[in-house]
């Protein structure tokens, strides 16, 4: 009798990629061991979720009655738990962590992906970017050409718009002139959404190939979990790394003021409610940890699946994953 043949069981990546991933993890572990950065392990499940309106967490429930069917969320990054370790006095730490984001699937996205996240005590953003470059040089096994450029310089150069002085209407008019009148629907009335849209539609695809870009000094409205500068215009102490037009990493000089952190969470939760996004609990443990005191530090998250795509010249994230979500 003819049976249905299952052709979904084998991995989508080659055996060579399994070895490349193992070699990359070894490079990372050696790199941090030599620098006295401690590898840590934090839970994937948390009672709190990311409040960011643009992030959608997977959720589940404990079936244990004593714990009252408590809701749990798969982390969208290991950031909150790692900051709690830092506040407890762990010093410099790193983690290779699985992270999860709903509804993110495509050539550069899988709902479950791997981040390398690390934190350095007393580092400035410049120190952290230098360390990132040294690590990436090892990962690519060559000295990469790199450019450090402010968000403002890049934005002005490519679009003629000053991102610190622009308005929602100027950005949506610009996108409409480029043929994307749907920008209003996608970005709503959020200035930071419109900045992100313009950046990813008209700037990112123009970045030079084979050059590592460190984009720095983001507009204050895009600070997320970063500190703000004291100088004018007020900018976020945040950087992003791009290579071959792909976003690879996002780093901050970490916000340590618990009151500001709580206020940002509350603003994000209000935005979620306004947009009808799922209601989620904020991480009160993170707020409490910051209240206790977070040492001055800088931290960054680097997408390891994308890094493997770039070092192996792969077309799709599926080419570097054993079992992407369609085969999970």
Partner 1 sequence: MSTYSTSEFKGGLKIMMDNDPCTIVENEFVRPGKGPAFSRVKYRNLKTGRVIDRTFKSGETVEAADVMETEMSYLYADGDFWHFMDDETFEQVSGDKIAVGDAAKWLKEQDKCVVTLWNGSPLSVAAPNFVELAITDTDPGLKGDTSGGGGKPATLETGAVVRVPLFVQIGEVIKVDTRTGEYSARVKS
Question: Is residue 207 a contact partner of residue 213, using CB atoms and an 8 Å limit?
Answer: yes
The least CB distance from residue 118 to partner 1, in Å, is: 19
Give whichever of 89 and 106 is closer to partner 1, judged by the CB atom: 106
Give whichever of 225 and 286 is closer to partner 1, judged by the CB atom: 225
Eight-class DSSP state of 179? T
Q: Does position 193 bind partner 1 by CB under 8 A? A: yes
Give whichever of 176 and 263 is closer to partner 1, judged by the CB atom: 176
> In angstroms, what is the C-alpha Rg of the chain?
20
- Distance (Å, rounded) from C-alpha 70 to C-alpha 61? 6
Q: Does position 192 bind partner 1 by CB under 8 A? A: yes
**Site track 244-283 with partner 1 (rule: CB under 8 A), x = hit:** ---x--x---------------------------------
CB count, 10 Å around CB of 119? 28
Bridge partner residues of 298 (DSSP): 120, 253
Query: Please, where are the H alpha helices in the chain?
Result: 15-34, 79-87, 125-140, 151-159, 168-177, 183-187, 191-198, 258-275, 284-292, 304-312
Question: Pick from 1, 2, 16, 185: which binds partner 1 (CB under 8 A)?
Answer: 185
The least CB distance from residue 322 to partner 1, in Å, is: 21
Give whichever of 82 and 226 is closer to partner 1, judged by the CB atom: 226
Stretch that binds partner 1, among 10-18, 124-132, 195-203, 305-313 (CB under 8 A): 195-203
Stretch that binds partner 1, among 64-72, 136-144, 184-192, 296-304 (CB under 8 A): 184-192
Question: Is residue 174 a contact partner of residue 241, using CB atoms and an 8 Å limit?
Answer: no
Which positions from 161 through 180 interact with partner 1, judged by CB under 8 A?
179-180
The least CB distance from residue 195 to partner 1, in Å, is: 7
Task: Please state the φ and ψ torsions of residue 315, each to the nearest 5 degrees.
Answer: -80, -35
Q: Does position 35 bind partner 1 by CB under 8 A? A: no
Task: Please name the residues in contact with 160: beta carbons below 8 A apart, sequence gap of 6 or more.
Answer: none
The least CB distance from residue 61 to partner 1, in Å, is: 24
> How buried is residue 269: exposed, middle or buried, by Cβ count under 10 Å (0-12/13-18/19+)?
middle
Tokens 């408590």 identify what position? 70
- Distance (Å, rounded) from C-alpha 172 to C-alpha 180? 9
Question: Pick from 47, 158, 220, 224: which binds partner 1 (CB under 8 A)?
Answer: 224
DSSP 76-109: SSSHHHHHHHHHTT--SEEEEEEEE-TT--BTTB
Give whichever of 52 and 131 is closer to partner 1, judged by the CB atom: 52
276: left (phi over 0), alpha (psi -120 to 50) or beta: left
Question: Pick from 54, 137, 285, 312: which binds partner 1 (CB under 8 A)?
Answer: 54
Stretch that binds partner 1, among 28-36, 100-108, 254-262, 320-328 (CB under 8 A): 100-108
The least CB distance from residue 53 to partner 1, in Å, is: 8
Question: Pick from 48, 183, 249, 289: which binds partner 1 (CB under 8 A)?
Answer: 183
- Give the CA distances from residue 82 to residues 86, 226, 247, in Å, rounded to whole numbers and listed in that order: 6, 15, 22
Chain residues in the site for partner 1 (CB under 8 A): 52, 54, 103-109, 179-180, 182-183, 185-188, 190, 192-193, 195-197, 199-201, 204, 222, 224, 240, 247, 250
């Amino acid at each position: 009798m003819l049976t249905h043949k299952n052709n979904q069981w084998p991995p989508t990546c080659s055996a060579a990629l399994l070895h490349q991933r193992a070699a990359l993890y070894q490079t990372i572990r050696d790199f941090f061991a030599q620098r006295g950065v401690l590898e840590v392990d934090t839970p994937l499940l948390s009672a709190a979720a990311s409040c960011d309106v643009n992030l959608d967490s997977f959720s589940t429930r404990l079936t244990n009655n004593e714990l009252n069917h408590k809701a749990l969320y798969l982390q969208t990054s290991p950031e909150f738990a790692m900051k709690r370790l830092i506040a407890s006095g762990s010093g410099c730490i790193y983690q290779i962590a699985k992270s999860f984001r709903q509804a993110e699937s495509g050539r550069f996205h899988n709902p479950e992906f791997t981040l390398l996240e690390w934190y350095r005590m007393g580092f400035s953003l410049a120190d952290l970017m230098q360390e990132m470059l040294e690590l990436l040089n090892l990962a690519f096994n060559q000295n990469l050409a790199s450019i450090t450029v402010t968000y403002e310089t890049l934005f002005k150069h490519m679009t003629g718009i000053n991102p610190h002085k622009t308005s929602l209407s100027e950005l949506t008019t610009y996108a409409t002139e480029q043929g994307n009148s749907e920008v209003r629907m996608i970005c709503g009335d959020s200035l930071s959404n419109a900045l992100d849209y313009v950046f990813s539609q008209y700037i990112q695809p123009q970045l030079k190939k084979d050059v590592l870009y460190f984009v720095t000094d983001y507009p204050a409205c895009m600070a997320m979990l970063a500190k703000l500068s004291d100088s004018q215009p007020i900018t976020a102490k945040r950087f992003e790394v791009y290579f071959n037009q792909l976003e690879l990493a996002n780093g901050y000089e970490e916000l340590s003021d618990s009151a500001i952190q709580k206020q940002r969470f509350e603003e994000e939760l209000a935005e979620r409610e306004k947009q009808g996004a799922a209601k989620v609990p904020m991480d009160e443990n993170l707020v409490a940890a910051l209240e206790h005191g977070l040492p001055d530090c800088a931290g960054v998250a680097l997408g390891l699946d994308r890094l493997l795509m770039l070092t192996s010249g792969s077309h799709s994230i599926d080419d570097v994953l054993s079992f992407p979500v369609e085969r999970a």
